[in-house]
Structure 1
């Protein structure tokens, strides 16, 4: 089984690789650098694609296309890294597996509040990974399951945190790449997951309270526990992956 793991930055990539032991370097078109884990139950290729949904989508699409053209397509794509957690469901150092990957700020502001792009008649704002795979991976990693929102601007205030929580009931974490990775995976019919470890609370920006090192350690630990769950769960997942679906209409805030 071949799995592509897409992170934002090298520190996250290296944390995933640390779980696999030895990783070798491979180069993709466009000078992307992959770290390729040695043969095991789940073969991991880990790519640091850059920060934000656009960079994540571009990097994931490049890796997926290169693998398909080489006749060795991936069986699963995982967006992974650290992120912000919504209290009380996702405390510092905890692990979250997304049961919904949602673009939180793709839409329009109106006098009556935010409208997602789907209400404007375009595209999609949510991808829902295979539920059995989500349950299996979450159980193996001791993770919570819930919505992970993708944002282009990290939340830095209590008001914004409350707004996101109101518009997305059940939200557990915030990150910047998941939706981009999910879009690239959906375009090629490959199942997707998102796994986040919590480095900071979503809300007022307080860098002194962030625990990045602890979150990276938790990311390594999570990827040590899940190869068996990934292999078993992905075998059950049909390709193409689950079709993206619109998120429920959010409650608007004045």
Structure 2
């Protein structure tokens, strides 16, 4: 049985890191990932890394498809910035898979992963660390009132949280720990405006106790996955602290390296094991 995974990032740099991580365990790597560690079966006849299959989708989107024989197929999609854009592109990928699959009654994928870099709440998630979502939270989907913030559920409609099953987060965290990538398992917030002040960071931390990271896409990916009944988890490599913008302290390169190593480990373990239900 082939396990089908869809990994969605915001931008190409994140997708490149994901592809580089997969190159060491599954055939295929873009030219941008030529220096990624790989095994002999990931190279073509000339000895150069083989490129992943590119699958065109409606709307000009392209999946980078990696395969591991009959065990796993991992599709990588750079889906855009922000929850609206990435919900639309993830939905397109899911619809395409559902319509082109051999059995339309099946889920189009066994697992959807929202992956990329993020800001980390201190001290839970310092730069260079990794966060695995215990919940994917739309941090500001609600209303301001004289008595404070009300989440959309409290208004009587919609949802702002997608819990992630402990069985799934446990498998991911265990695989990463065994590979030398300890992680925090905690809520990850989705925002449309990146936090840039201590006041806003404190407000979010109070509103969402235990949150370890903020990014801009997870909830959009989760909404699309939920529409197709597919489990979803968010993986965030921390590039900076949530709070005042201090670009000199950002560690984007380190975060992308953490993301690459994370995907490599999961490509050897969780992605090729029993489907993640």
Cα distance in 2, alignment partners of residues 86 and 234 from structure 1: 31
Deviation for aligned residue 1:37: 1.2
Deviation for aligned residue 1:226: 1.2
Task: Find out whether 1:198 has 2:238 as its counterpart.
Answer: yes
1:61-210 equivalence runs, <5 A: 61-71=91-101, 73-141=108-176, 142-210=182-250
Question: Could you list the per-position Cα deviations for residues 60-88 of structure 1 after superposition, in whole angstroms to 9, with x for gaps in the alignment?
Answer: 10000000001162111000000000111
| Normalised TM-score (structure 2) | 0.83
Deviation for aligned residue 1:192: 0.5
Task: Find out whether 1:213 has 2:253 as its counterpart.
Answer: yes
Cα distance in 1, alignment partners of residues 135 and 119 from structure 2: 16
Question: Could you list the per-position Cα deviations for residues 84-138 of structure 1 after superposition, in whole angstroms to 9, with x for gaps in the alignment?
Answer: 0011110111011000000001011122221111111110010011211111101
1:237-252 equivalence runs, <5 A: 237=277
Query: Which of 64, 78, 86 matches 1:48?
Result: 78
Alignment partner of 1:234: what SS? coil
Task: Find out whether 1:26 has 2:66 as its counterpart.
Answer: no
Deviation for aligned residue 1:168: 0.8
Deviation for aligned residue 1:208: 1.4
| Normalised TM-score (structure 1) | 0.90
Question: Could you list the per-position Cα deviations for residues 6-39 of structure 1 after superposition, in whole angstroms to 9, with x for gaps in the alignment?
Answer: 1000000010000111122211011111111133
Aligned-residue Cα RMSD (Å) equals 1.2
Residue 47 of structure 2: aligned partner:
none
Task: Find out whether 1:234 has 2:275 as its counterpart.
Answer: yes
Cα distance in 2, alignment partners of residues 37 and 29 from structure 1: 20
Alignment partner of 2:212: what SS? strand
Deviation for aligned residue 1:233: 5.8
Cα distance in 2, alignment partners of residues 125 and 175 from structure 1: 15
Alignment partner of 1:109: what SS? strand
Count of residues in correspondence between the two structures: 236
Task: Find out whether 1:15 has 2:23 as its counterpart.
Answer: no
Deviates more, 1:99-108 or 1:33-42: 33-42
Alignment partner of 1:61: what SS? helix
Residue 247 of structure 1: aligned partner:
none
Contact persistence 1:133–1:234 (CA under 8 A): no
Cα distance in 2, alignment partners of residues 210 and 4 from structure 1: 28
Residue 246 of structure 1: aligned partner:
none
Deviation for aligned residue 1:42: 3.1
Contact persistence 1:103–1:151 (CA under 8 A): yes
